[in-house]
Amino acid sequence: MFNNDNNSLVKLKPEQIVSFGEVKNPETNQIEPEYYARYLYRDIKDNMIFGLCVFKTKELTYRTNDEPEISYVDMERKEKYKLRMRITDLWRALPKDDFPVNGMLSEPDDELDVDKYLLAVKPVSRPIVNNIREFFRLPLQMEIYFKEISDNNADELAETRLKFEIAQAKMFWKEAEEGVLEEEAGYSKLITADISGGGFMFTSSYLIRSGTFLECMMIVDREALPVVAKILRAKEDDILGGYNIHVQFHKISDPVRDRLVKYLIKQQRQLQKKFSHNRR
């Protein structure tokens, strides 16, 4: 049953991205959000209105009175919460309802490939802290230095190489800036198209095959953070040429992941301010 107290406990900012439901990804065997949505506003009936997008190759499975679980980040507390919400109404977005999809999908030119819906929802439970690691994606350009490694090296890479140490992270960042990682250590540089705490996507002029392991240094706030990643799939871009490479983190320490997620939360807040300003 609806509860106004529950409604007031949901701390969301306009333009913030949230996740709806859960599904198992057959490629990774991991649980992932079923849909991503953007919080837009509250209407006169105190419904929370979300803009949700679905790839045109799929159908929206939700109906009125469904009660999906929603996960979101409280930007002030920097904690993730989840709760159940009842869909009181939903409709396909009209031109006047349009909303940006940046950060909600990992495919390029996603506005051409999705159907947009508006959902009016009300909470039917209180928000609780969600300790399960779920990740939101951001359309963020970030430098990552990488080199291909064998399957055996990926599994045998010493855990000490993947630990976060401030002095080492700053040293490798300096080496990246000076070109040492590329010229002497054999790394190549990529720029992400989007990134989350679980992986990233980038475009490449050449094919990197699925299953390839990468030893990476992610550049975050003047530090180089170590991680081992695995190519999930490489999709040819028929329009722009080259390949869209989807990558999952294979080995990443908790301190490195936490540092990355905090950085992404900070970047998401800046994106929200930008979108809020543009909508005025």
**66-86 pLDDT per residue, tens:** 999 998 887 777 678 889 999
Per-residue model confidence (pLDDT) at position 27: 56
| Token code pair at residue 253 | 């320490």
Mean pLDDT of 212-229: 91
In a domain? residue 134:
no
Is 81 found in the same domain as 173? no
CATH at residue 198: 2.40.10
In a shared domain, residues 108 and 195: no
pLDDT at 86: 94
Which pLDDT does position 33 carry in this prediction? 80
**pLDDT at res. 214:** 93
Q: Do 113 and 34 fall into the same domain?
A: yes
Structural domain includes residue 56: yes
- The average pLDDT across 161-168 equals 76
**137 belongs to a structural domain:** no
Q: What long-range pairs does 177-183 form, CB within 8 A, spacing at least 24? A: 181/145, 181/217, 181/224, 182/145
Last residue of a domain, one of 67, 101, 129: 129
pTM: 0.59
The most confident of the ranges 142-156, 209-223, 253-267 is 209-223
> What is the pLDDT, as a whole number, of residue 72?
86
> Among the three residues 78, 106, 129, which one is the final residue of a domain in this structure?
129
Q: Which of 224, 244, 210, 276 is nearest to 106 (CA)?
A: 244
Q: Are residues 124 and 176 in the same domain?
A: no
Residues 187 and 147 in one domain: yes
Residues 150 and 265 grouped into a single domain: yes
Out of 88, 106, 129, a domain closes at 129
> Mean pLDDT over residues 221-247, rounded?
88
Q: How many domains does the chain have?
A: 2
For residues 53-90, one letter each, b for 16 or more C-beta atoms within 10 angstroms of the residue's C-beta and e for the rest, the string is bbeeeeeeebeeebebbbbbbbbeeeebbbbbbbbbeb
Give the domain extent around 255: 143-272
Compare 100 and 106 and report the one with higher pLDDT. 100
